Amino acid sequence: QQGSAGVDWLLRHPELAAKDFILTNGSGIHAVPISEQIMAYCFALARELPSAVHAQRERRWARGEFNHVFELAGQTMLLIGVGAIGGRTAEIAKGIGMRVLGVRRNPEVAHPAVEAMYAPGRLLEALPLADWVVITAPYTPETKGMIGERELRAMKPTAYIVNIGRGATIQQAALVRALQEGWIRGAGLDVTDPEPLPADSPLWDMPNVIITPHTSGRTPRRPERAMALFLDNLGRYLRGEPMRNVVDKKLGY
């Protein structure tokens, strides 16, 4: 059993997918901290907190500069990936009055906090509906580069994109252009492509972008949750019962 949810290392070692072993992942143990960080990006960007911090450092009482703050209630969030993290994010978002849509491989699998579920092939249909596009999908051959110029141009010019999955799900050059040219309003990024993000990346200096160094899953409760999952799965294995979080090694999650 591995400690994280993503098994993208299988893409680098495809020969291992054919090996006869059961692989389980840590899906679910990071749902609380990551869903909270997703919402933190949303609250911070909606209330222009990065600008407030900047003004604070300059010791400026910049009350007249905050003319574009808005409420999250009534806005629409589109989750690309509705697993443990996406599901908990949906519950929080719905709880504060947001409308939640989802994209998942099998759209027939519903979630009580998600109003409508779309197949990946309908992504371009769903993107224009969203004020917030949140990527929690795993990194697979299908999700690599899935958000490019076409998808970013399909979003509202007032929309934000949040990525806590893998940096390579977004085509980085297209994202930079989208932010520079106003195709979208802003972004919250816990992951980038490449990592670490190079010091000369234009993303660092954008006032409408929040960057964190792949830390959204950090929590002091991680060891406790990981051990509980491991012990549960060990017991299931010894009793010959179905294990939790079994990875389809060919699908990559």
pLDDT per residue over 43-60, tens digit each? Answer: 999 999 999 999 999 999
Question: Does the annotation count 122 as an active-site position?
Answer: no
Active-site residue among 115, 125, 181, 195?
195
Q: What angle do CA 117, 122, 127 make, to 5 degrees?
A: 85
Residue (of 1, 2, 5) closest to 191 by Cα position: 5
Is 130:118 a contact under the CB 8 Å cutoff? no
With cut-offs at 50, 70 and 90, classify the pLDDT of residue 6.
Answer: confident
> Is residue 11's pLDDT more than 80?
no
pLDDT of residue 136: 98
Domain spanning 31-211: CATH 1.10.260.40? no
Q: Which strands form 132-135's sheet, in the order they lie side by side?
A: 116-118, 99-103, 76-80, 132-135, 160-163, 186-189, 209-211
Q: Establish whether 166 is a catalytic residue.
A: yes
Which of residues 62 and 6 earns the better pLDDT score? Answer: 62
Indicate which residue of 105, 153, 177, 214 is catalytic: 214
Cα–Cα distance list, 230 to 10, 27, 239 (Å): 21, 11, 14
Confidence at residue 153, expressed as pLDDT on a 0 to 100 scale: 99
Predicted local distance difference test score (pLDDT) of residue 84: 95
pLDDT (0 to 100) of residue 157: 99
**DSSP H/E element including 174:** helix 172-181
As annotated, the residues of the chain forming the CATH 3.40.50.720 domain(s) are 31-211
| 195 has catalytic annotation | yes
Q: Classify residue 79 by its DSSP letter.
A: E
Per-residue pLDDT, 8: 82
pLDDT exceeds cutoff 90 at 3: no
CB–CB of 41/162 below 8 Å? yes
Burial class (CB in 10 A: 0-12, 13-18, 19+), 39: buried
pLDDT-derived band at 10 (thresholds 50, 70, 90) equals confident
pLDDT value of residue 89: 99
Percent of the chain with pLDDT over 70: 100
Please write the tens of the pLDDT for every residue from 149-207.
Answer: 999 999 999 999 999 999 999 999 999 999 999 999 999 999 999 999 999 999 999 99
